[in-house]
Structure 1
Amino acid sequence: MNKRVLSVIEIGSRAIRMSIVEVIDGKISILEELRQQVRLGKDVFNKGKILRSTINQCILILKNYKNLCDEYKAEEIYAVAATAVRDASNVDIFIDNIFSNAGLVVEIISTTKGTEYVYNAINSNLLNKFKRNDEYQAIVEIGSGTVEISIFNRKCIVFSRSLPMGALKMKMIFSDAPNAEEGFFNYLKAAVERELRNLKREIPASKVSAIYGIGPELELLTKILNSSENENYINKKDLEEFCSKIYSFSDDEIVHKMNVPYDYTDTFHPIIFMFSKVIDFFECDKIYIPKVNLRYGVALSVIDSPDKMDFFNKYKIQFKTTAINIGRRLNFDEKHALKVTNLALKIFDETKEFHQLCDKEKAYLTIASILHDIGSSLSDSSHHKHSMYIIKSQDFFYLEKREKNIIANVARYHRNSEPKSTHPDYMELSPKDRMIVMKLSSILRIADSLDNTHLQLVKNIRVIKDKPNSLIIVAYVKGQIFTELYSFRHKKVFFETLFGVSLRLKIKKD
């Protein structure tokens, strides 16, 4: 029996929460969960920084949490922080103080990484199973600092957006306005409707078969609306009636009549109000509150982290979907991008003896190939450089910043220029990562040359080892490929120099 104990600490806008879990043969059981209220969100959304008194309070809480972890003999402690800490002007001071005084390394996670964790937690135990391949479901997490909306199908996340209108942040923004208390919900309604109108232009589907609501306020709501504590379903009609009922309630009435803990009162009503607006937007009747959270998602990622050999197979659909969605937003040449990707991956698979890269690097090549020409959306001139900047500015699930920089550089070198020591973005990479960029970009250059006209004249290829240091690419073509031949002769040179082989192209009619 494989058994271990680990702890996940989440430093949120209103509380620091900890889950101590036991993992037995890959299954997670919660041993203990703790929550301590803090005013991080109020500090940051009002003052722009975390006050010293709040930092000291966080240190004390985290010291106590760490002591409890020691009692449980937790082998690993993972501490993560999101919106409030990330947005603080003194975030570095906060992180350093926590490490120096509590001995904990805090990871600042992006909204993309947070969505990834929550999606993993929900996907591990779907409450509403998919019935069709074209069916979509949504995750809605309304927090203190942001609203996270993600749409997924049975295979991967197809859309994700972070809206800067969390309940506590909106209250802080509106707190100085005249008649703040009376006019807040009119202001909130206008803000939510504006964001949802903008969202409608981007999302792949405005109708979903089920919505999963995430957050402690929504878990409280299920207890209020349902007689059974195990119930994780909300009836849409009940939600609408509840929103009408509490519209005129004061904070004290919400506490005493609804049994809502006092420290939730400043966000409970706004979060329920915003959640109901999102439900209306998606026109969905199936509303689930699965009672999972970011901490559970972090724990899942720890115990289910794929090795390098399994990485591509596990996430390849996600990578391809994300890259194609980025391309479509910028009106890219999809047929060319997918043809180049197909050719690049074939060359990658059939030249492993030379490049000796693994499936993780294959994932990088997939994204770089799909997006290599994306810079043309800005300008054809120097579009390879624009491609690099665009890729660096995007978010990719299951990839770190370092990996995104590798992908961006691979796309940057698909054209004429080879990597040079005078290129700052390239030189920022480690020597090992620079070598990955060179190997992958040498493959991408060849693949791009074989669709130089963007007409997909090369239908398929095979790579044959002719001699120990000689390779032949057999291209099955339809029509004349004069431009591709010229481009191939030019672009193959980098591959030949890098691997010390000669490369020839042999044409066969398809």
Structure 2
Amino acid sequence: MRTKDASDIQKPVRSCCDPLAGAAAGPRLEAVIEIGATGLRLLIAEISADGSWAVIDRAERALALGRDVFTIGSISRDSLLQCLAILNRYREILRSWAVEDAHVTVVATSAIREAKNRDSILDRLSVKTGFRVRVIDGIEENRLMYLVVNRALRGAPGALGKINSIIMDVGGGSTEIMLMQKGKMVAAHSFRMGTVIIEQQVKAMMGSAKDMRRFLAEYIRTTGETLNKELRLDRVHQLIAISSDARLAARSIGTPVTDLLSVIPRHEFISFVQRVTSYTPEECVRNFRISYGEAESLTPGLLAYQYFLEMTEAETVLVPFLTLREGVIISCVSGPDPLVNEEFYTQVVASAANLGKRYHVDEDHSRYVTRIALGLYNCLEAELGLDRHARLILEVAAILHDVGSFIRPADHHLHSQYIIAHSDIFGLNKDDMNILSNVVRYHRAEKPNPGHHAYATLARQDRTMVLKLSALLRIADALDRGHSQHIEDFDIELSKDTLYLRARGTHDVTLERMALEEKADLFEEIFGYRLVLN
């Protein structure tokens, strides 16, 4: 597809996280604080002008926020006070390194995410420490996991390349899982199953270690059945484990591959897990020099990896020596939008395409509409005022716009909205999914309406994005009204007040003209251009 536009050259935008932006200033310090289910962790990294970085300080303090949330549903007053004390201690460390607040990222995971008193806790943390805490969802954790794995496997033999892989992070309150088929993302999920949750549920049932094994094995078997629908686990040949429990195993029995990666043969990993599960928590503290809280969660964490490993044909367990905190640093070094990384962008699209396959979308129509929609976006890029991330949202919307036909072709735009709003796509967080589901809803005759709750509750700038992207998607879909792709390609040309779509070759475009008459009104309202199909 060929497009023309008088203003097709845009200057790149720099941000404070862009390594090129600070080239003249030399190295800078960036810090990350993670508020997790089992503790608070600090990392400080020095980032050079060329984008390379190195960790220069770490700190960790145990705090069982997860035990509060997963037993009583809220974070207790005592835990809040301890959390404030730890954060203020970290602020002293940051001052000693002269790290400014603008270069400190504070993230919270499952414990605060699920706390009933989350809003009041976040307010107290902000007022008493000055830190603004960003609560990240499971899919955002998956994105950071991918960045970490990609970094750790860089230069390592066998990498993600052509191997079917399962990437797992068994945390305190959730387990993040990604499936990759021959290096392409198949699925990303966040399950409410973590070491602290398992431990608390078994205690609540007055269960034994045997009961814990049975409970965990049954949960993982059920989870495995879900994952098997997306990628046969018996065809997975590589397990990549990301957690402090996995790193403990790697330090004990692993063979270093690089400074950032260790490998453990399957049988040795299983033997190690069996040995550890025979220890009491006191013996784990003594043997591995870890805290008592870490010792209590060690057995369920390692067993979760073992049970998943036994469902696959993986002969090795790869363990990166990087954490979610390094993932935040990598994301910062990449710029405010890590999707500028083409490989990452491709993985998001691959995940969306796999979701489409699960619901049996018309793939030829989907590819055609995607190509036309992106051609329109490229032609109008200067008019849109949107970034690369918005272009990705449009691409995914074009791939999945008809996914609701799986339920019922009539009103399939509403079913598409529902399916997408309740699905996971690698690399897209909940805000992205809300925007995406609205774009898909409005690809038919219905236009965005303030009376529609899902649309009205979006932020103003997100509603504007929905208007622009759905206008483009409606045109692209209209140009394949009959799902026949009988017009092989278009030339797109933007003049002073008209957008011309010229079908290459000789074609009867009567059906497409009729479809455009129904759908072009939103485009013309938003952009002010008349639409002409020749």
Same fold by TM-score greater than 0.5 = yes
Q: 1:58 offset after TM fit, Å?
A: 0.5
Aligned to 1:289, what secondary structure does the other structure show?
Answer: strand
The answer as to 2:322 corresponding to 1:278 is no
The answer as to 2:117 corresponding to 1:90 is yes
| Alpha-carbon distance in 2 for matches of 1:51, 1:212 | 35
Structure-2 change in CA distance of 1:10 and 1:360 (3 Å): closer
Partner residue, 1:112: 139
- Matching residue's letter, 2:369: V
The answer as to 2:450 corresponding to 1:450 is no
State whether residues 145 and 327 of structure 2, in contact with CA within 8 Å, keep that contact through their aligned partners in structure 1.
Answer: yes
Partner residue, 2:8: none
1:8-36 CA-partner distances (Å, limit 9, x unpaired): 11111111111111112312211111111
Taking structure 1 as the reference length, the TM-score comes to: 0.90
Q: 1:353 offset after TM fit, Å?
A: 5.8
| Alpha-carbon distance in 1 for matches of 2:455, 2:309 | 45
| Alpha-carbon distance in 1 for matches of 2:160, 2:461 | 43
The answer as to 2:132 corresponding to 1:102 is no
| Alpha-carbon distance in 1 for matches of 2:159, 2:118 | 45
- Matching residue's letter, 1:414: H
Which is worse superposed, 475-484 or 158-167?
Answer: 475-484
Taking structure 2 as the reference length, the TM-score comes to: 0.86
- Matching residue's letter, 2:133: V
| Alpha-carbon distance in 2 for matches of 1:52, 1:132 | 45
The answer as to 2:375 corresponding to 1:346 is yes
Q: 1:488 offset after TM fit, Å?
A: 2.5
Aligned to 2:485, what secondary structure does the other structure show?
Answer: coil
Q: 1:119 offset after TM fit, Å?
A: 1.2
Partner residue, 1:390: 419
Q: How does 1:422-441 map to 2 (within 5 A)?
A: 422-441=451-470
Q: How does 1:207-218 map to 2 (within 5 A)?
A: 207-218=235-246
- Matching residue's letter, 1:337: S
Aligned to 2:447, what secondary structure does the other structure show?
Answer: coil
- Matching residue's letter, 2:517: R
- Matching residue's letter, 2:446: S
Report the identity percentage.
Answer: 27
Partner residue, 2:41: 17
The answer as to 2:201 corresponding to 1:166 is no
| Alpha-carbon distance in 2 for matches of 1:421, 1:103 | 36
State whether residues 457 and 477 of structure 1, in contact with CA within 8 Å, keep that contact through their aligned partners in structure 2.
Answer: no
Q: Which has the higher contact order (CA 8 A, sep 6+)?
A: 2
Q: 1:377 offset after TM fit, Å?
A: 2.6
| Alpha-carbon distance in 2 for matches of 1:182, 1:313 | 47
Partner residue, 2:526: 498
Which is worse superposed, 408-417 or 30-39?
Answer: 408-417
State whether residues 189 and 424 of structure 2, in contact with CA within 8 Å, keep that contact through their aligned partners in structure 1.
Answer: no
| Alpha-carbon distance in 2 for matches of 1:177, 1:307 | 45
| Alpha-carbon distance in 1 for matches of 2:174, 2:148 | 19
* Aligned positions, number: 504
Q: 1:480 offset after TM fit, Å?
A: 5.2
| Alpha-carbon distance in 1 for matches of 2:454, 2:483 | 28
State whether residues 37 and 65 of structure 2, in contact with CA within 8 Å, keep that contact through their aligned partners in structure 1.
Answer: yes
- Matching residue's letter, 2:69: V
Partner residue, 2:95: 70
1:43-90 CA-partner distances (Å, limit 9, x unpaired): 111211111111111110111001110111113211111112211111
Partner residue, 2:293: 263
| Alpha-carbon distance in 1 for matches of 2:173, 2:345 | 31
The answer as to 2:4 corresponding to 1:4 is no
| Alpha-carbon distance in 1 for matches of 2:416, 2:518 | 21
Structure-2 change in CA distance of 1:207 and 1:260 (3 Å): farther
Partner residue, 1:145: 173
Aligned to 2:152, what secondary structure does the other structure show?
Answer: coil
Q: 1:315 offset after TM fit, Å?
A: 4.5
Structure-2 change in CA distance of 1:94 and 1:505 (3 Å): same
**Aligned counterpart in structure 1 of residue 204 of structure 2, from 168, 176, 183:** 176
**Aligned counterpart in structure 2 of residue 470 of structure 1, from 493, 498, 503:** 498
State whether residues 173 and 193 of structure 2, in contact with CA within 8 Å, keep that contact through their aligned partners in structure 1.
Answer: yes
Structure-2 change in CA distance of 1:80 and 1:190 (3 Å): same
Partner residue, 1:61: 86
**Aligned counterpart in structure 1 of residue 57 of structure 2, from 32, 37, 42:** 32
| Alpha-carbon distance in 2 for matches of 1:51, 1:358 | 42
Structure-2 change in CA distance of 1:227 and 1:502 (3 Å): closer
